[in-house]
Amino acid sequence: MSAKKTLLFSTWILGACATEALQHKLVSQTIRSQKFLDETKLECGDIVQVALQRVPLNTERFPEGYVADYIGNVKIASITPVNLGELEALDVVRGGFLSLLQLQNALRRAGWRYKALSCFSAYRVTFGWVQPDEKFLNESALACVKL
pTM, 2 dp: 0.80
Q: List the Cα angle 93/117/71 in 5-degree steps.
A: 40
| Domain ranges across the chain | 6-146
- The pLDDT score that the predictor gives to residue 4 is 78
CA 15, CA 100: separation in Å to the nearest integer? 13
CB-CB neighbours of 84 under 10 Å: 21
Confidence of residue 18 (pLDDT cuts 50, 70, 90): very high
Give the burial class of 111: count Cβ atoms within 10 A of its Cβ; 0-12 exposed, 13-18 middle, 19 or more buried.
exposed
Beta bridge partners of 81: 123
Helix (H) or strand (E) holding 114: none
Classified as helix, coil or strand, 58 is coil
61-70 pLDDT per residue, tens: 555 556 788 9
Of all residues in the chain, the percent with pLDDT exceeding 90 is 72
What CATH number matches the domain at 6-146, 3.10.400, 3.30.70, 2.60.40, 3.90.1580? 3.10.400
68-80 pLDDT per residue, tens: 889 999 999 999 9
